[in-house]
Structure 1
Amino acid sequence: MKFRYHWWGKGDIDASFGVFFDGFSKILSATGIMLFVFGMPANIVLGKIVPGIGLAIFAGNLWYFYEARSLAKKENRQNVTAQPFGIGASQLTGWLYLIMGPVYWQTGDAELAFQIGLAAALIGGFVEVLGGFIGRWLVSVIPHSALMGNMASSAIVWLSFVGIAMVFDRPVYALLPLFIIIIDYLGKADKRFQKIPSGLVAIVLGAAIAWGTGYLTPDNFTSAFSNLSFYPPTFCGIDIAKGFSGIFPFLPIIIPLQINNFLSTLQGVESAKSAGDIYPEKRSMIMDGCSTILGSLFGNPFPTTVYFGHPGWKELGARAGFSLVNAFAYLLICMTGLTGVLMALIPTEAVMVLLIFVGLSVTANTFQELDKKYTNVVLLSLIPILFQYIQTLISSAVQAAGTTVADIGASKFAEFSVPITGIQYLGNGAFLSSLLLAALLAYIVDKKYFFAAAMGGVLAFCSFVGMIHAESVALFPPEGVIFGIIYLVVGAFLTLKGFLFRGTAQKRKPSTESPVIP
């Protein structure tokens, strides 16, 4: 009998809501910043950027639906889950605050900021494609525990921590939905008589309470229809050409951000593999780059990527249906102006409860999959990313007060026992430093001191060029020189240790983890 893949599973409703609102909450924030902070004309933001986002995410989700369907047919399995896909949080904030924002603040030209953002995305897309050809090599030199630990740390912080903060910020209508998720998904309570997915119950309950308590109102809902129209994607080749004239100063920002981006895709593929769905990392990384390039050509300045969370959605029973739903939902909403209508109907915080579960699930699966000896690897990888979140909170808080961290000064923070300098050192380049520190520790755990020393050298190089611990990429920034020298000393010590204990490691029990993936 010919195999037929049933692409809609019991968890696809929850995954559709969770992945959609995770992505759209970022898009709404970016739209507000571009319209009301940068002062970009509505015809650029709503007429070019938002439709371009819709087209890029439509194309990418269609691909990942096809990829999951092909894998299911190849292996004759029904429980194949597609990889979640959208715009990465770090890429969106990086493009807004490190590329487009500075252009606007220096020139006052919102259109130029848009054009340089598009040119940056086009270059970033090619960097992602390049990542597809070096991804397997990266997997071969970076320990699996470091990759998974870095991914789990990002998921627990940027999904669970951020989500829980948002829920407790609006406890009246968001806390009960959270406890539904805690009881049914985290606690795995008996649901034999429950036919409706718990995630859908949580969202509907949160929306009902928000409407009943007046947080959502009919007036806001009806006013959201005022922006409805038809916004087809527009080819932006001329805009990109103009943007290239001012792109050079931003190359040191674009390249590291996109290296982080294709590493995120690589980690997403690795997490899917650990959950039982083996996708080719090269193909996934190339397709991410292609969707970024396509989006930039049609107005989207923000790079796309595979999201964290595949194991969580798989645990809920999702297959590939959520990719198809999100593909058409993004296209429809981004081309018609329905974004505001949707957010006026369902509160974002009520949907965040699903992302809290995904972050916790990814982290729990990481600990379950890895040997216990790598627990400290995961915990070490958490520290820079956690401090990156703290850094973001502090920066946002002082901006809300009408000032900046630099204006306040480190000495003033020290008076209140806030080690702001240390927080900034850890937060700058946190994704990369988290990965490299975890890799160094993983090699030490396996008694592979020469490999660990090499990671010390990589940490030193990244410090010397400002990719970690520094505010921006530059050759020999003062703080980078300090950290670089320290990392070189660490590397030298590990090299000496490797020579002293050469041969003894071979007599030990073989490692449960090999850095090389066949």
Structure 2
Amino acid sequence: MPPPIFMKIDFKYKWFVMRDFDSMLMLFLDNMSSLIGILGVMAFAIPPLMVPFGSTDHEAHKTAMTAIVWTRACPGIAWALAFGNLWYGWMAAKLATFENRQDVTALPYGINTPAGFITCWNVMLPIGTALLAANPSMGADDFAIKTWQIACACNFVGGLFEIAGSVYDVRPHFAKAALYAPVAAVGFVWLALVPLTEVAKEPIIGLAPLALAFTAFFAEAGKGVYPKLSGGGALLIALAGMFFKWVHAGKYTGDNAFMAKQVNDAWDNYSGKNMFSKAFPLGHWEGVDGFIAVVFPVAVASFVETMELVETAGAAGDVYNLREAMIVDGLGTCVGAFWGSPIPTTVYIGHKRHKIIGARSGFSIGNALIYFIILNAGVFPVIFQILDAVSIGIILLIVGLMVCQQAMEEAAPRHYPAFFIGIMMLICDWATLNANSTHVGMHNLGAGSGILAAIILPQILCDLTDNRYERAAFFCLVAIFFSVIGLMHGMNPVDVHGKVTGAGFPWNNVYGEGGIMKVKGQLTISIADSKPGITGKETFPWGEKVSALCTAPPEFRVNQMMADGFPAAGMNEGWRFAVGYATVFGICIIHAIMQRCGCMPPPVMDNGVNLHQSAHVLGTAKITEADSMTEAEKLAKMKKAVVSSESSSEA
């Protein structure tokens, strides 16, 4: 039984022990890797894409956007991290009081890394682009502030969605593989694949830290071969990368003089600068409704991830109040948005590792204080330029792989095929954003970041695997509804207000009424049409004949309002998915009737939980006890638990 949300704490609980310093360094570097990756994209990658090349204020707009990230977004993130880390420290003290024991480890907390990247590419980029499209003469400061304000408003709404998720525990209604699919998918793509591409870009810098990461985090059953090294190897990885960077082992980092100038410029431009009173973060709500279909799936993935990680902490011996943890995650996101953060926060994977070390709650509190100072003092841009982004990204890669590893341990092997289908959705999202993919199907699967599709479609496939046809039919109805309104496969041209969100070529007519840029996953309405497909007579503006569906990204070449166009080549896709899911619904109903008549095997009702996974088999056994067993003892205990479980289910 978990402790209540509000209760007195016993101050005999030792908040700080020596091992908290090791855990604090690990959590610090974990957050650092997330912040460097996300803020690097936000400050340097998307501003040039927002501003039309050739415009007179191109550099001014980019500079203003970069400045707003360092001077307004960073302080907001500081408040979010302080709120969540301090609350989780308090939760650890409450649990210690409630169970009258000292060995309670706080839940780690930090930036929601996958959601941060999705916010950059699927929210901030289209917001900024649309603002300038609607008003090309908009001043640089006004442009940067409004882009940031709308992103903060979207983040605030996402926090409210997370809090709403605490009302009802959805886990009994989903297979483990389906619940883990979006969490593992964002871990695989945004936390692992993206940093790995940076290693491939700078192999002389990156390969050595990559090797050290595996010896530090996966060797010796996850304990690593550097147990006495502070930070569990994370510091070693960061130092190795920084060494290679500053001895000029990189091809694309520039020479030492160039890198030194970047550090000096960051110090001169941002050190001690905090534009906390420049503008109210939630002062601009226009266009937020257009991003609900992006924000809502991210919030769903966040509260599902919180559920799973709190459950994992319980298996390690620290049974926290699940509802409280979910509320804290949502409140932390709202607090951050109120003070200027456009990216959400969440509980982190890694509680087990901190518990093995022997940490209490001091590492969480220390992390809050350190980041509060760094992010408010304007020195984070300097740290960003000093550290090596490639090796710091490898720490992210390890976290992403840990998420995938845990997902596969928790889910039943028979559901792995459906699980991998879910991962493919986020691969498609990355491909459309980063690999210039022009395949219509990739855009359809990755719409809205692909998160909801990564839950619902694997769930249908898991239920079909388990002969649970009636539940599969229900989720088909959910998929039909989500497809029509754009929450899944949302490549549709008409928004919920009946306005056309825009179509055509990026240099011709990419913006709709009022300059609203269409976004894959925008909340839309899809209605079946009878527009012609490719007839062979169509040509692109440069005279090339249209001969294939994949000649260019669909949203750049489709005009649904022109009868002589070729709309079947791209947009208004949701209704076709609705028809497809309706067909699957019919198949499920037929199979369900046959099952009722005894013509089909009975359903498997275990929700795809892997009974052979030690976190479930050992139940709430403390981590210290499990780690003290020999492998033979663990195996014997697991076998005994599985036999007992099977006997009770037969009874």
| CA–CA distance in structure 2, aligned partners of residues 318 and 167 of structure 1 | 33
Give matches, 1:320-399, under 5 Å. 320-395=361-436
Choose from 473, 478, 484 the match for 2:523. Answer: 473
| CA–CA distance in structure 2, aligned partners of residues 160 and 19 of structure 1 | 15
8 Å Cα contact 2:154-2:295 kept in structure 1: no
| CA–CA distance in structure 2, aligned partners of residues 42 and 466 of structure 1 | 32
8 Å Cα contact 2:193-2:397 kept in structure 1: yes
Matching residue's letter, 1:340:
P
8 Å Cα contact 1:149-1:378 kept in structure 2: yes
TM-score normalized by structure 1? Answer: 0.83
Deviation at 1:358, TM superposition (A): 1.6
8 Å Cα contact 2:46-2:125 kept in structure 1: no
8 Å Cα contact 1:124-1:303 kept in structure 2: no
Show CA shifts across 1:205-231 (max 9, x none).
211221122755444333332121142
Aligned residue number for residue 165 of structure 2:
131
**2:457 is equivalent to residue 437 of structure 1:** yes
Identity in percent: 19
Show CA shifts across 1:58-85 (max 9, x none).
2222223333443355443636352332
Greater fraction helix? 1
Give matches, 1:33-48, under 5 Å. 37=50, 39=61, 40=64, 44-48=68-72
Deviation at 1:125, TM superposition (A): 3.2
Q: Which moved more, 1:342-351 or 1:86-95?
A: 86-95
Show CA shifts across 1:15-51 (max 9, x none).
3212222123212321335766552367754443332
Matching residue's letter, 1:454:
F
Give matches, 1:90-101, under 5 Å. 90-101=118-129
Aligned residue number for residue 206 of structure 1:
241
Show CA shifts across 1:335-371 (max 9, x none).
2211121122211111122222222222122222222
Deviation at 1:433, TM superposition (A): 0.3
8 Å Cα contact 1:262-1:305 kept in structure 2: no
**2:297 is equivalent to residue 254 of structure 1:** no
Residue 155 and residue 457 in structure 1: after superposition, are their counterparts in 2 closer, same or farther (change >3 A)?
same
| CA–CA distance in structure 1, aligned partners of residues 355 and 186 of structure 2 | 19
8 Å Cα contact 1:81-1:310 kept in structure 2: no
Q: Which moved more, 1:195-204 or 1:428-437?
A: 195-204
Matching residue's letter, 2:72:
K
| CA–CA distance in structure 2, aligned partners of residues 234 and 318 of structure 1 | 41
| CA–CA distance in structure 2, aligned partners of residues 318 and 489 of structure 1 | 54
Deviation at 1:487, TM superposition (A): 0.3
Matching residue's letter, 1:273:
E
Deviation at 1:510, TM superposition (A): 5.5
Choose from 17, 23, 44 the match for 2:35. Answer: 23
**2:444 is equivalent to residue 425 of structure 1:** yes
8 Å Cα contact 2:158-2:299 kept in structure 1: no
Aligned residue number for residue 400 of structure 1:
none
| CA–CA distance in structure 1, aligned partners of residues 391 and 162 of structure 2 | 33
Q: Which moved more, 1:354-363 or 1:77-86?
A: 77-86
Higher relative contact order (CA 8 A, sep 6+): 1
Show CA shifts across 1:229-249 (max 9, x none).
142633855x634x23x24xx
Larger Rg belongs to: 2
| CA–CA distance in structure 1, aligned partners of residues 226 and 71 of structure 2 | 48
Structure 2 unmatched ranges of 5 or more: 1-9, 52-60, 492-519, 528-571, 610-651
Give matches, 1:224-235, under 5 Å. 224-226=266-268, 227-231=270-274, 233-234=276-277
TM-score normalized by structure 2? Answer: 0.67
Residue 499 and residue 77 in structure 1: after superposition, are their counterparts in 2 closer, same or farther (change >3 A)?
farther
| CA–CA distance in structure 1, aligned partners of residues 264 and 347 of structure 2 | 33
| CA–CA distance in structure 1, aligned partners of residues 237 and 358 of structure 2 | 17
Matching residue's letter, 1:393:
N
Q: Which moved more, 1:473-482 or 1:276-285?
A: 276-285
8 Å Cα contact 1:159-1:358 kept in structure 2: yes
| CA–CA distance in structure 2, aligned partners of residues 26 and 454 of structure 1 | 37
Q: What SS is found at the alignment partner of 2:274?
A: coil
8 Å Cα contact 1:11-1:316 kept in structure 2: no
Aligned residue number for residue 148 of structure 1:
180
Aligned-CA RMSD value: 3.2
**2:301 is equivalent to residue 263 of structure 1:** yes
Residue 42 and residue 26 in structure 1: after superposition, are their counterparts in 2 closer, same or farther (change >3 A)?
closer
Structure 1 unmatched ranges of 5 or more: 396-404, 411-419
Residue 311 and residue 195 in structure 1: after superposition, are their counterparts in 2 closer, same or farther (change >3 A)?
closer
Deviation at 1:485, TM superposition (A): 0.3
Q: What SS is found at the alignment partner of 1:501?
A: helix
8 Å Cα contact 2:186-2:426 kept in structure 1: yes
| CA–CA distance in structure 2, aligned partners of residues 166 and 207 of structure 1 | 15
Q: What SS is found at the alignment partner of 1:428?
A: helix
Aligned residue number for residue 623 of structure 2:
none
| CA–CA distance in structure 1, aligned partners of residues 245 and 67 of structure 2 | 32
Choose from 446, 455, 472 the match for 1:452. Answer: 472
**2:127 is equivalent to residue 85 of structure 1:** no
Matching residue's letter, 1:285:
M
Q: Which moved more, 1:466-475 or 1:316-325?
A: 316-325
| CA–CA distance in structure 2, aligned partners of residues 5 and 23 of structure 1 | 27
| CA–CA distance in structure 2, aligned partners of residues 450 and 177 of structure 1 | 49
Deviation at 1:447, TM superposition (A): 1.8
8 Å Cα contact 1:224-1:340 kept in structure 2: yes
| CA–CA distance in structure 2, aligned partners of residues 190 and 360 of structure 1 | 15
8 Å Cα contact 1:62-1:327 kept in structure 2: yes
Deviation at 1:148, TM superposition (A): 1.8
8 Å Cα contact 2:466-2:603 kept in structure 1: no
Choose from 86, 91, 105 the match for 1:67. Answer: 91
Matching residue's letter, 2:211:
F
Q: What SS is found at the alignment partner of 2:525?
A: coil
8 Å Cα contact 2:178-2:418 kept in structure 1: yes
Aligned residue number for residue 222 of structure 1:
264
Q: Which moved more, 1:187-196 or 1:156-165?
A: 187-196
Choose from 199, 202, 210 the match for 1:178. Answer: 210
Deviation at 1:480, TM superposition (A): 0.5
Deviation at 1:497, TM superposition (A): 0.5
**2:131 is equivalent to residue 103 of structure 1:** yes
| CA–CA distance in structure 2, aligned partners of residues 268 and 447 of structure 1 | 29
Q: What SS is found at the alignment partner of 1:85?
A: strand
Aligned residue number for residue 339 of structure 2:
298
Deviation at 1:187, TM superposition (A): 3.0
| CA–CA distance in structure 2, aligned partners of residues 225 and 253 of structure 1 | 35
Matching residue's letter, 2:581:
Y
| CA–CA distance in structure 2, aligned partners of residues 264 and 156 of structure 1 | 15
8 Å Cα contact 2:213-2:395 kept in structure 1: yes
| CA–CA distance in structure 2, aligned partners of residues 155 and 117 of structure 1 | 23
Deviation at 1:482, TM superposition (A): 0.6
8 Å Cα contact 1:65-1:324 kept in structure 2: yes
Aligned residue number for residue 189 of structure 2:
157
Residue 491 and residue 25 in structure 1: after superposition, are their counterparts in 2 closer, same or farther (change >3 A)?
same
Aligned residue number for residue 14 of structure 2:
4
Show CA shifts across 1:106-148 (max 9, x none).
22351433443344334333333323224x1x32322233112
* Structure 1 outlier segments of 4+, above 6 Å: none
8 Å Cα contact 2:154-2:291 kept in structure 1: no
Aligned residue number for residue 78 of structure 2:
54
Q: What SS is found at the alignment partner of 1:233?
A: coil
